[in-house]
Amino acid sequence: MTRTLDTIYKAAGFVSALLIVAICVLVSCQIMLNGLSRLLPGTLPSTIPSYADFAGFMLAGSTFLAMGYTLRSGGHIRVNLLVQRMPHCFALLAEGFALLIASAFVGTALWFSGALVMESVHYGDVSTGIVPIPLWLPQSVMTFGIALLLIALIHTLVDLITSRASVLTSPDEV
């Protein structure tokens, strides 16, 4: 099960990276169009319709899709100053408690994010840019990323309980 979840986390991280590259390509194309429209007025359109909306949706998707992968790879910022000075059993309890609290918060965010998607589908909400994008599309990616983060938190908690050792820390962290 761990290998399957790790593969899913890595795939989401890869898609997140692709979305960042797509943002770079989109913005670069817009910059080139701006420059070319000044050099050769009237030959090319001066803007990509709704490019800022697309870039924003891709940034949100990239952010949320990367969260589970970042958690499992130990990339989230942690302050281990206090935990390093605790006895091992208290440190494990503190980490378990933090994972439980984080799971509760992320679970709540998942609930409301899912409700937002359903509401957008129900009302047919679309973006306000030149190109109307159904809002449930980027919201679904966000919701999937939040769900993946919740799975990663629970996965980490299970690993902590079964191994009786901290899963996310390394000795070089401070």
Instruction: Show the DSSP H helices in the chain as ranges.
Output: 2-39, 51-72, 81-84, 88-123, 136-163
Residue 133 makes CB contacts below 8 A (sequence gap 6+) with 50, 53, 54, 57, 126, 127
- Examine residue 119 and state whether it is found in any structural domain, yes or no: yes
Q: Which domain holds residue 36?
A: 2-163
Which token pair is 89?
Answer: 């059993």
- Examine residue 171 and state whether it is found in any structural domain, yes or no: no
- Examine residue 173 and state whether it is found in any structural domain, yes or no: no
- Examine residue 168 and state whether it is found in any structural domain, yes or no: no
Which token pair is 153?
Answer: 């938190």
For the question of whether the overall pTM of this predicted structure is more than 0.85, the answer is: yes
* Per-residue pLDDT tens listing for the chain (174 residues): 889 999 999 999 999 999 999 999 999 999 999 888 888 887 878 889 999 999 999 999 999 999 999 998 888 777 677 777 888 889 899 899 999 999 999 999 999 999 999 999 999 999 998 999 999 999 999 999 999 999 999 999 999 999 988 776 654 544
- Examine residue 174 and state whether it is found in any structural domain, yes or no: no
Tally the domains of the chain: 1
